[in-house]
Every structure is written in structure tokens, then in C-alpha cells.
Structure 1
Amino acid sequence: MKWLKKNSINIGIVTLLLVIILVPDAKATLIKGLMTIGFFKPDVEEAISAAPNLDGLKFKDVKGNTVDLGDLKGKVIFLNFWATWCPPCRAEMPSLNKLYLQFKDDDKVVFIFADADGELSKSSKFMANHNYQMPVYKVESDIPEQIFAGALPTTIIFDQQGRLSFKHEGVANYADQKIVDFLLKLKTAR
């Protein structure tokens, strides 16, 4: 009993670390907390580069509608690869939802939230359970590694000409004003 009292702080820290490591929601909550104090801000330096041809890069939504990125020329495309089991993905979801809600009625900006596992029923249920309004898709074609190499989460933004304007692998706070300004800049660029 004396040993427990003496080591209670250490036991508490180890228990907390194990919970953070083993429980995805706990890890996501920790990451969300770090995001609110300023960590995980995406770098939005405009680095436009040629992207692979977007024609034929297809995504299917829950209703069975297919979107071909090649058909979206003239629009800014915000593409996010995520999975329900991924703690960093879960952590950035509130900020992604906030960004989506800001632009959802804007016909110049298209959002595609691609479930990397392709389990639309599971990802739709996840969105509904968390009151997120983002549209979920599954990948319906081969995706070039330049766009998605398998790291989750990965976010890509294409400008109106289909050029790769932003790529970020890992968690980020997309409710940050810099991202909003970046999308507005891309949307109004000619």
C-alpha cells in the first residue's frame, strides 16, 4: 500500500499515456486540444505545381453519384483523404466541418472527403454521429502517388486550372483564417 501511494503519480501518468495511445478518441481529443492552442497550423505558402491529369480521377458518393476531378475545371477542389479509425483524422474533423460549412453553398469550391477505406456506410454513420455535414466519397480509380501516397490524413487543394496548389500530410487546423483566405484567393484568381 505504501508503494502505491509513493508511485501514484507515476501510475497515473502511465495510465494516461496508455489511454492516449490505445483509445483513438482520447488521442483525437489531445490533438484537438493542441490544435486550439496553435499547433498544427497548415503552411499555405502558394506552391503551385503541375499536377497529373485530373481526368479519370473518380470518387463515388453514398448515393452512387460519381465525380470525375477532370470535370471540375474552373472550380477549386478541396480533397481530403481520411479514415474513421485514424485519430489525427478524427481530430481535424471539427475544423474541416467548420471550413466546409463556410463554403458549402459556394459553387466555385468543391469538397471531397474520401474515406481511404472505401466504407461509405461506416464513414456516413461516423459523420452523422458527430453532426458533421461533410459529403463522404470513396475512391473509384487509381490515384497517383503525387496526390495521395497513403499517409492519413492528407489534404490536397487544386486551383481552378487543376494545378496542385496545396498538399499537407498529417493533422492540421483547417478552420484557420489562413486557409479560408487561401481558398478565397484561389477562387477569385483568373
Structure 2
Amino acid sequence: MKVKLMAGIAGLLVSAGLIVGGWLIYQYVNDAASLEYVMSDHYGERMVDFTLEDISGQSTAVSATSGKPKLINFWTSWCPGCQNEAEDLNKIYANYKNNIEIISINVTANDSMEEASAFLDEYNVQMPSLFDQDGIVAAQYGITAIPTNYFIRADGTILKITYEISESSADPLIKELLEEVN
């Protein structure tokens, strides 16, 4: 009886420790200042050029030397944040497609072409969508969370890296990109 009681108490203490530890990790990871600090290490760096295929197999090159600012969105079909931002990204694309390059990249290495295609249809994604089937571009960009959005200046340097965006959070960044061009 005494052994069962001690085992029960030990189990409760371990459980409590795991819960507190998990909560502390969650607080650290979700601390915007911590994330901003980590991501800001890349601000001012030059973007990595890449070529990927769209759903029809057509290759598209994305280059730092195009002379246009860019918004590059990394996503997967199973990501709740990607689903949440899809409508806003469509609005952003409709508003700014003539002024900046807006590219959507499915990290297909963590998804499937079928599910990605269904996502594009379901959310009526209008912007060009490319497929990183082997995950090389996502790795080059250091993608560790989905969605991730890169705001890139016309000279190819990184202005800002964000996670899930909304139209209202993207507008000031896009306006800053456009002011630098004009």
C-alpha cells in the first residue's frame, strides 16, 4: 500500500513538472520579442535565389536582382495558420500584385501535391504558387515554422520575417518596401 502511494505521488510530481516545463517552453516560444530577436539576425541579408515549379510543372525563377520588392509566403495545406491567412493573402495579392512580387511556396516535402492542390482550390489562392518538393528552398531560408513570410526589398535584402500575417499587419511592411523603391 505504501509503495503504491509513493508511486502515485512520484507520478503526480513528474506530471506537474512536465506541465510546468511545457508551459515555460510555450511561453518562451510564443514570446514575440524572443522570436523577433531570433529572426532579426537575418534582416539585411540577401535573399537566396531559387527556381521551383508550379502545379503544371512550369519552372519559375525568383531572383534578388529582379528589382522588385517581394513577399514570399511559405505554407503547407495542413497548417492552421496557413488556412487562417489564406483569405488575407488573396486580398494582399489583389491590392499589390502590380507593385511587388508575391509568391506562395508550398513546402511539399512536408505535404503532398494533391493536398496542396486541394488547398489552392479550397482557398481560391490567386497568387503564383510554387512547390518545394524536396524542401531545399525551405532549408535555405531556415524555415522552422509554417507559415513564414519574407518581406524582401527591391535590392534583394530581407526587410522582415514574420509568421502568420493579416492584411493589416502586412500593409505597413509592404508600404515600407514600396517607399524604398520610390
Q: What TM-score do you get using the length of structure 1 for normalisation?
A: 0.62
Which residue among 114, 121, 125 is the counterpart of 1:128?
121
Distance 1:62 1:144, change over 3 A: closer
- State the partner residue of 1:182: 173
Preserved contact between residue 68 and residue 100 of structure 2 (Cα < 8 Å): yes
Cα 1:134–1:121 shift into 2, 3 Å: farther
Rg (Cα) greater in structure: 2
Counting only pairs closer than 5 Å after superposition, residues 56-75 of structure 1 correspond to structure 2 as 57-70=50-63, 72-75=65-68
- Structure-2 change in CA distance of 1:142 and 1:75 (3 Å): same
Q: Distance in 1 between matches of 2:118 and 2:43?
A: 35
Q: 1:115 to 1:50 in 2, by over 3 A?
A: same
Do structure 1's residue 143 and structure 2's residue 137 form an aligned pair? yes
Paired amino acid for 1:158: I
Encode CA deviations 1:124-171: one digit per residue, 9 max, x unaligned: 3222223332322112673375723331111111110000111013x2
Unaligned runs of 5+ in 2: 1-35
Q: 1:50 to 1:132 in 2, by over 3 A?
A: closer
| Alpha-carbon distance in structure 2 between the residues aligned to 1:64 and 1:117 | 14
Q: Which moved more, 1:89-98 or 1:120-129?
A: 120-129
- CA distance 1:133–1:144, change in 2 (3 Å): closer
Segments of 5+ residues of structure 1 without an aligned counterpart are 1-42
CA distance in 1, matches of 2:69, 2:142: 18
Q: 1:122 to 1:164 in 2, by over 3 A?
A: same
RMSD of aligned residue pairs (Cα, Å):
2.7
Q: 1:78 to 1:183 in 2, by over 3 A?
A: same
Higher helix share: 2
Q: Which aligned pairs between 1:108-123 and structure 2 lie closer than 5 A? A: 108-117=99-108, 119-123=112-116
Residue in 2 that maps onto 1:83: 76
Give me the whole-angstrom Cα distance separating, in 2, the residues matched to 1:146 and 1:125: 26
Percent identity for Structure 1 against Structure 2: 22
Cα distance in 2 for residues equivalent to 1:87 and 1:189: 33
8 Å Cα contact 2:150-2:161 kept in structure 1: yes
Task: Please give the secondary structure, in 1, of the residue aligned with 2:63.
Answer: helix
Residues 17-57 of structure 1 show CA distances to partners (whole Å, capped at 9, x for unaligned) of: xxxxxxxxxxxxxxxxxxxxxxxxxx8xx9941225x33x2
Q: Is the CA contact (8 Å cut-off) linking 1:147 and 1:156 kept in structure 2?
A: no
CA distance 1:138–1:146, change in 2 (3 Å):
closer
Q: Partner letter of residue 62 of structure 2?
A: L
